[in-house]
Structure 1
Amino acid sequence: MTPGTGSTAEHVGGPGRQPGSSSGGVGRDTMLTLGSRLLLTAVIIGADVILARALGPDGKGAFYLLVLFPSLVALAVGMGLDRSLAIVVARSREAARSGFANVVLWTLVVGGLATIVSVALFGPGTLSGPLRSVLPGISDSQFLLGALAIPGELFFGVGLLGLVGRRRIVSYNAVRLLRRALLLLLTASVVASVGLSLEGALALNLITLVVTVLAIVLAVRRDGSLGLRPDLALLREQLRFGSRTVLGALAERLSYRVDAFLVNLLIGVSATGVYSVAAGLAEVLWYLPNALGLVLFSRAVIPGTDSTALASTMTRLVVTLGIILALPLAVGAPALVEWAYGQAFAGGGETLRLLLPGVVAYGVVSVLTHFVIAAGSPGVYTWLVGTGLALNIGANLVAIPLAGIAGAAIASSISYSVTAVLTLIVFRRIS
């Protein structure tokens, strides 16, 4: 049973009106999201270039890992509330109020506990916890600044999908753009005035996260979906569904992030900084499929909707445009990376080339896994991305010692491509 059905659905209210029914059709939401993603791309790259030049390879690598860590923890302790909330809020405004109230409660309690546990596992002071071996060379203050982002990352991720479930696509895109644009503005201002340290960059990341969390709250309030009374019966239903997707969501996130941790462990933080530049530029090609996938998901969660034809069309579009965009990027990658990021990051150019085939292929996964989940098959989704993650880790453990960050790029590209093929096979069987 999905959240918002059965007895729980009756408890939180009747069907009500469809969320965002006056906001336009698929075409409008798609173009709006794509347009915002293009602007978001420019903002993200701008901030990344400034951070890289200010911090150097070592600092850039450490920053990348310390921003990545809380997002992974938040995803894990979120227990799939993001996708289950999207389904709950699509049913009625009354259900949305209860669902959002549950998220606030979960963020404060579970997000806060996750921060405390993370700091304890890192080992403050003279203690040495297991996380120190995963993040070597990170100081106590740096880790604390990273860990403090866990509750904010939890609410940010869940709240954004709640906006998608309510089909508030304008608000969703505005919040995403706000976070990146504010980070760009603050980073550029600090670098120009006093210079930027790793601790300063992490503090700026926290500030932008707080501001965007408040922006989500305001967007939910404007929608009339902000509630402060948790519904424990609904929360259990949300967690029951979400727990079926959380392993898959975590496996998918790790599929395109675990390579950075492995590079850090097997080579070092400086190589991680260079690799993060290549990965960040390659992932620009994912903005299109992610945008289309979210639009598809916002339709597919509506009861009685058949989105098979829409999913097929979006997948063909993603592959075609991905190839068109990847070709010039592959040709100009070495010159582009060295010009934008500096000589210290020049090795990222060839790494970017090696990542591109798999990144283009993975666009299929970014679109169709939304369809798989909305179709009520989260277990299949978990199997798909879990298989890809296992292949990614195994291939990276072999390739990184042999070929460094180029080996990591090849291994990741292969795993992305295999996952894409498996996803297409599954889609044909369930559609």
Structure 2
Amino acid sequence: MLKGLIGIRSAKQRTGFARHGVATVLVTAATMGLGLLTGILVARTIGPDGRGALTAVLTTVQLLGWLFGMGCGKAVTYALSRDHAAGGRLLSTWTLILLPVAALAIGIGHLLLPTLLAAQPAETLELARLYLPMIAMALLSELMLGLILGDQDFRSFNALNFIQPAGVAILYALLWAAGHFTVEAAVIVQGAMSTLVLVAAATLLVRRHGFGRPDFLLGRQTVWYALRTHGDVVGGVITQRLDLLIIPAFLPAAQVGLYALATSLSWLIVSLSGALATVVMPAATRRGQSGRELVLNSLQATFAIGGLLGGGLFVFADIAIRLVYGPYFADSALPLRLLLPGAVLYAAASILLNGLYAENRPFTATLANLLGMVVTLGGLLLFLRSGGILAAAIVSTVAYTLVFATAAALYRRATGLSWRVFLPDPAMLAALPRRLFDKPSSVTASPAASTVASTAGPAGK
């Protein structure tokens, strides 16, 4: 009787995750579509120079927000997934922690901007300085969205992630129709929508959990988890976006614009095929050891989606870019092709890294992105000035590949699984729409199945 009830509960969990997983992928696809529309509008309205300036301003502030985020999103997601009663205390405690961190980040940003935007005109530098306070919004948004994930409220999480690009697309279109679309107007729109999402998320959480008394012990515990994840966050940000952060200091705005288009298109693969990674961590954390099956199924699904999307984009890159963005962006095709293989592997790596978080191994997850960061930083410093955007694309793909290989080895070591369970079964792939989130036959048929079902992982590192 008890076994039957457990089986029913497990089936309901798989069904629920399948529903939320599919919804997340669909929302991500819709968000990507909106991103493509706004990208087309930007490209055809303000050209490579304008797109390069806009990318320089937004990317610089976004990266500083990630670098100073302290891993708070992962920390509160993990804590709230384990203890739902801690929501109000997590909200108040981490708000107090992040406010002085945001002030420090803004101050350092003012000092770094002249160097980071050395090759850009004075107007772009001034606009970036005006946008710097949005770092505080970025940090608080990471906290709010992390808590929503910890609540397993994937519906609200997806809705909030959709509202921002939808609002940006609508306001961009209105500005374009009125003949007032400029880099400055686009930056204002981005700031306004970020603020709106933050207010909506904060309102939802305060109504749900209240604003509890700050908890020093809880803060210390979650800060320790956060600091162990922060190396992964910093390494990931640098691996993903250091090229866009460094290029404006060495190359003119037109080259920045061409490379920004290539990276944004390649990142569509990461965003869509890796969309499951967002919900894998809280879902796998709540399920305990059975969450490993979920991680492996999500990994195989990510490879399937990424391979299809990446292969199609690789074949039709020239035609698609010329047709959609215009002939001025034709030189983005080759960097895009160089980035695509690495993008597929990086999406798969994100699943495994979130699996490590669910195993309470945040510091272990850090190692993969730290290796990628070293390769990215060294490669760009050595080859960017002479090789331009093609060198940047090659360096990024090599770094992404290294992150995936390292993440796979670390996850296998943390769980004790066989390499066989990482490989998709042909029958499973044929029935992917039906079995995407059920137990994979490769796990069932292999000796590692007992490891997934009954062996406890190593203690958190």
The verdict on a shared fold, with TM-score over 0.5 as the criterion, is yes
Q: Does 1:312 align with 2:296?
A: yes
Match of 2:246 in 1: 262
Match of 2:438 in 1: none
Match of 1:295 in 2: 279
Whole-angstrom distance in 2 between the partners of 1:363 and 1:119? 33
Match of 2:85 in 1: 94
Whether the 8 Å contact between 1:315 and 1:368 is mirrored in structure 2 is yes
Whole-angstrom distance in 2 between the partners of 1:191 and 1:228? 45
The Cα of 1:130 is off from its aligned counterpart by 4.6
Query: Superposition pairs for residues 135-174 of structure 1, below 5 Å?
Result: 137=122, 139-174=124-159
Match of 1:27 in 2: 18
Q: Does 1:385 align with 2:369?
A: yes
Match of 2:186 in 1: 201
Q: Does 1:335 align with 2:326?
A: no
Q: Alpha carbons of 1:242 and 1:135: their partners in 2 closer, same or farther (altered >3 Å)?
A: farther
Instruction: Give the one of 102, 105, 125 matched to 1:111.
Output: 102
Q: Alpha carbons of 1:119 and 1:403: their partners in 2 closer, same or farther (altered >3 Å)?
A: closer
Residues 337-385 of structure 1 deviation map (CA, whole Å, 9 limit, x = unaligned) = 1222222222112221111111111122111000112212222211110
Match of 1:428 in 2: 412
Q: Does 1:39 align with 2:23?
A: no
Q: Alpha carbons of 1:196 and 1:84: their partners in 2 closer, same or farther (altered >3 Å)?
A: same
Match of 1:63 in 2: 54
Whole-angstrom distance in 1 between the partners of 2:251 and 2:118? 13
Which protein has the larger Cα radius of gyration, Structure 1 or Structure 2?
Answer: 2
Whole-angstrom distance in 1 between the partners of 2:196 and 2:399? 36
Residues 194-245 of structure 1 deviation map (CA, whole Å, 9 limit, x = unaligned) = 32222211111110111010111133245x1231532233222221211111
Q: Does 1:189 align with 2:180?
A: no
Instruction: Give the one of 165, 180, 184 matched to 1:180.
Output: 165
The Cα of 1:147 is off from its aligned counterpart by 0.4
User: Taking structure 2 as the reference length, what is the TM-score of the superposition?
Assistant: 0.82
Whether the 8 Å contact between 1:90 and 1:165 is mirrored in structure 2 is yes
Aligned residues: 404
The Cα of 1:287 is off from its aligned counterpart by 2.0
Question: 2:379 corresponds to which letter in structure 1?
Answer: A
**Larger helix percent:** 2
Whole-angstrom distance in 2 between the partners of 1:36 and 1:142? 31
Residues 4-45 of structure 1 deviation map (CA, whole Å, 9 limit, x = unaligned) = xxxxxxxxxxxxxxxxx9996211111111111111110111
Whole-angstrom distance in 1 between the partners of 2:116 and 2:304? 42
Whether the 8 Å contact between 1:101 and 1:226 is mirrored in structure 2 is no
The Cα of 1:322 is off from its aligned counterpart by 1.1
Q: Alpha carbons of 1:315 and 1:182: their partners in 2 closer, same or farther (altered >3 Å)?
A: same
Whole-angstrom distance in 2 between the partners of 1:372 and 1:55? 43
- Structure 1 unpaired stretches of 5+: 1-20, 123-128
Q: Alpha carbons of 1:333 and 1:121: their partners in 2 closer, same or farther (altered >3 Å)?
A: closer
Q: Alpha carbons of 1:345 and 1:74: their partners in 2 closer, same or farther (altered >3 Å)?
A: same
The Cα of 1:409 is off from its aligned counterpart by 1.2
The Cα of 1:51 is off from its aligned counterpart by 1.9
Q: Does 1:283 align with 2:267?
A: yes
The Cα of 1:296 is off from its aligned counterpart by 1.4
The Cα of 1:74 is off from its aligned counterpart by 1.8
Q: Does 1:416 align with 2:400?
A: yes
Match of 1:227 in 2: 211
Residues 130-182 of structure 1 deviation map (CA, whole Å, 9 limit, x = unaligned) = 55548664545302232021011111122212211110000000001001110
The Cα of 1:110 is off from its aligned counterpart by 2.5
Q: Alpha carbons of 1:232 and 1:65: their partners in 2 closer, same or farther (altered >3 Å)?
A: farther
Query: SS at the partner of 1:174?
Result: helix
Query: SS at the partner of 1:346?
Result: helix
Q: Does 1:217 align with 2:206?
A: no
- Structure 2 unpaired stretches of 5+: 1-11, 416-461
Whole-angstrom distance in 2 between the partners of 1:22 and 1:193? 49
Instruction: Give the one of 28, 43, 50 matched to 1:52.
Output: 43
Whether the 8 Å contact between 1:86 and 1:164 is mirrored in structure 2 is yes
Deviates more, 1:303-312 or 1:338-347: 303-312
Q: Does 1:358 align with 2:339?
A: no
Residues 67-99 of structure 1 deviation map (CA, whole Å, 9 limit, x = unaligned) = 122222222222111111112222334311110
Whole-angstrom distance in 2 between the partners of 1:130 and 1:325? 37
Whole-angstrom distance in 2 between the partners of 1:263 and 1:139? 15
Residues 235-292 of structure 1 deviation map (CA, whole Å, 9 limit, x = unaligned) = 2222121111112111101111111223222322221111111111111111234321
Whole-angstrom distance in 1 between the partners of 2:388 and 2:209? 49
Match of 2:69 in 1: 78
Whether the 8 Å contact between 1:145 and 1:199 is mirrored in structure 2 is no
Whether the 8 Å contact between 1:62 and 1:138 is mirrored in structure 2 is no
Q: Alpha carbons of 1:256 and 1:138: their partners in 2 closer, same or farther (altered >3 Å)?
A: farther
Query: SS at the partner of 2:181?
Result: coil
Residues 385-416 of structure 1 deviation map (CA, whole Å, 9 limit, x = unaligned) = 01011112222334434432122112211221
Residues 38-64 of structure 1 deviation map (CA, whole Å, 9 limit, x = unaligned) = 111101111122122222212211211
Alpha-carbon RMSD across the aligned residues, in angstroms, is: 2.2
Whole-angstrom distance in 1 between the partners of 2:282 and 2:229? 17
Whole-angstrom distance in 2 between the partners of 1:134 and 1:367? 37
Whole-angstrom distance in 1 between the partners of 2:217 and 2:237? 29
Question: 2:126 corresponds to which letter in structure 1?
Answer: S
